[in-house]
Amino acid sequence: MTMAHHPPCRLAVLISGSGTNLQVIIDRIEAGELNAEIVCVLSNQPDAFGLERATRHGIPALVHENSAFPDRRSYDAATVEILKSHNVELVILAGFMRILTEVMVNAFPRAIMNIHPALLPAFPGLHSQQQALDYGVRFTGCTVHFVDYGTDTGPIILQSVVPVEQNDTEESLSDRIRTAEHQIFVRAIQLYVDRKISVMGRKVLISS
Ligand code: GAR
C-alpha cells in the first residue's frame, strides 16, 4: 500500500548492466505499489541495457562514464552534482559496479542502498556467486544494505537465503539469486519510502 500523505520519494537508480532490478522497481511504481518516482537513471557503461529500459518508460537516462575522470573522488563529485540537481532523496545501486568514495557517502548519509549477490558479510566484492560455488556453501543469497565507507560493509536492511544446487554454474546460481533480489530490493525501498527504517549503529530497525 502507498502512503498517500508522503510525496513520492525521489529515487536515482545507478546501474552498469542489464537492469533487471531497475525493471522491477519501474514496474512496481507503475503499478501504483511503490510511492516513489525514478527521477534519473545513471550508468557508467554506455551500452548498459538498463538505459534502454529507462528510456522505454520515459525516465531520464544518462551515461556517466568514469573513464572521463582522473579518479574515483572526482567521478563521485560529478555524480553528486547530477543527483543533487535532480533533488534525489534515495540513491539505489542496482548492479552498479563501482566502489563509492566518501564524497558520495557523505552527500547521501544513510540514503544509498545497494543490492549484493551474497549473504554479507560472506563473499563481498566481485564474483560473489563464483566465490560461493568455490567455497562449497550449501546456501548463499542476497543482501540489501546501506552503503558506508567500506566495500559491502554497511548496515543490513534485508537478506534472502538461496540454496546452492550441486550442479550449479555461476550463471544458474546468479539467476536464482537475482529472482530473490527482485523481491527484497523493492521491499527494502518500500520500507524506506514508508519511513519504517531507522539505523542504530550497525543495526537496522524496521517498524511495523
Ligand atoms: C545483481 O545480481 C546485483 O546483485 C549485482 O549485479 C547484478 C545486477 O543485475 N551487483 C553487484 O554485484 C554489486 N557488487 P541487474 O543489472 O539485472 O539488476
| pLDDT tens sequence across 56-83 | 999 999 999 999 899 999 999 999 999 9
Distance in Å from the first CA to the final CA of the chain: 13
Whether residue 91 contacts residue 112, with contact meaning beta carbons closer than 8 Å, is answered with: yes
**Ligand 1 centroid distance, CA of 208 (Å):** 28
Give the pLDDT of residue 179.
Answer: 98
Q: Which residues pair with 43 in a beta bridge?
A: 15, 63
Confidence at 4, pLDDT banded by 50, 70, 90: low
> Ligand 1: which residue has its CA nearest to atom 9?
95
Evaluate whether 7-108 and 114-208 have a shared fold: yes
Q: d(Cα 186, Cα 64) in Å, to the nearest integer? A: 24
Cell 529472482, residue?
Answer: 179
Q: pLDDT at residue 13 above 60?
A: yes
CB 132 less than 6 A from any atom of ligand 1? no
Give the pLDDT of residue 6.
Answer: 83
pLDDT digits (tens, 9 = 90+) for 170-206: 999 999 999 999 999 999 999 999 999 999 999 999 9
CB 159 less than 6 A from any atom of ligand 1? no
pLDDT digits (tens, 9 = 90+) for 119-175: 999 999 999 999 999 999 999 999 999 999 999 999 999 999 999 999 999 999 999
**Ligand 1 centroid distance, CA of 114 (Å):** 9
Residues annotated as catalytic (active site), given as ranges: 116
Q: How far is residue 192 from each of residues 52, 98, 142, measured CA to CA in Å? A: 27, 23, 18
Q: pLDDT at residue 2 above 90?
A: no
Which three cell numbers mark 118?
Answer: 551474497
- Reading across the β-sheet that carries 36-43, which strands appear in turn? 61-63, 36-43, 9-15, 90-93, 112-116, 139-146, 156-163
For residues 107-128, give the mean pLDDT: 98
| Residue to mutate, 115, 129, 145, ligand 1, most ligand atoms under 8 Å from C-beta | 115
Q: What is this structure's pTM?
A: 0.96
> Ligand 1: which residue has its CA nearest to atom 17?
20
Q: Which residues pair with 15 in a beta bridge?
A: 43
CB 145 less than 6 A from any atom of ligand 1? no
CATH homologous superfamily, domain 7-108: Formyl transferase, N-terminal domain (3.40.50.170)
Using left for φ > 0, alpha for ψ between -120 and 50, and beta otherwise, residue 32 falls in left
Looking at the CA of residue 181, tell me the nearest atom of ligand 1. Answer: 4
> Ligand 1: which residue has its CA nearest to atom 7?
95
Q: d(Cα 90, Cα 11) in Å, to the nearest integer? A: 5
**Ligand 1 centroid distance, CA of 94 (Å):** 6
**Ligand 1 centroid distance, CA of 143 (Å):** 11
Looking at the CA of residue 94, tell me the nearest atom of ligand 1. Answer: 18
Percent residues over pLDDT 70 in the chain:
98
Note the CATH architecture for domain 114-208.
Answer: 3-Layer(aba) Sandwich (3.40)
CB 129 less than 6 A from any atom of ligand 1? no
Whether residue 133 contacts residue 168, with contact meaning beta carbons closer than 8 Å, is answered with: yes
**Ligand 1 centroid distance, CA of 46 (Å):** 17
Which three cell numbers mark 173?
Answer: 546460481
**Domain residue extents for the chain:** 7-108, 114-208
